[in-house]
Amino acid sequence: MAVERTLSIIKPDAVAKNVIGEIYSRFEHAGLKIIAARMQHLSRERAEAFYAVHSERPFFKDLVSFMISGPVMVQVLEGENAIALHRDIMGATDPKKADPGTIRADFADSIDENAVHGSDSPDTAAQEINFFFGPDEVCPRTR
């Protein structure tokens, strides 16, 4: 399996629940390394741009409002098979369908407010990492 990088966002609902450390701990226990991180409060324009792929969906307006309702914690995770592994740890989009022990099963309240985001393919991961981080903000481990 290849070493991959993926973009993770801890969404405003989970930041408000004060579970950033708990979620980081799940990443680390799964073998994912945090190689970039920033807390920020997204502007409406940035949130719309990030979710542009969903702009025609009925939930788009509410999704953007939710994503700007408070700060988010954004990070790059690196590890073997990181993209799929991260999606496994997150659980299904709808927390009611998420496996027990996943982040969404434990911390998300609804499909609209579902605690975390994770890239879903190598192309999306590269795009989403570039959306948030410049090359000198990503710090792979050298020891």
Q: Return d(Cα 133, Cα 143) in angstroms, integer.
A: 22
Please state at what angle helix 82-90 crosses helix 20-29, rounded to 10 degrees. Answer: 130
* Catalytic residue ranges: 117
Closer to ligand UDP by Cβ: residue 32 or 102: 102
Q: Which of 15, 36, 63, 73 binds ligand UDP (CB under 6 A)?
A: 63
The minimum distance between CB 130 and ligand UDP, in angstroms, equals 18
CB of 58 to ligand UDP, least distance (A): 8
Task: In whole angstroms, give the CA distance from residue 138 to residue 37.
Answer: 8
Among 117, 125, 132, 133, binds ligand UDP (CB under 6 A): 117
Report yes or no: 33 and 77 within 8 Å, Cβ to Cβ: yes
112 binds ligand UDP (CB under 6 A): yes
Locus of tokens 């998420």: 98
Strand stretches in the chain, DSSP E: 3-10, 33-40, 72-80, 116-118
Is 97 within any annotated ligand binding site? no
- Residues 90-109 vs ligand UDP: string with x where CB under 6 A? ---x----------------
Spatial distance between the Cα atoms of 91 and 15, rounded to a whole number of angstroms: 18
Chain residues that interact with ligand UDP, rule: CB under 6 A: 54, 59, 63, 93, 111-112, 114, 117, 120
Q: Which residues are annotated as a binding site?
A: 11, 59, 87, 93, 104, 114
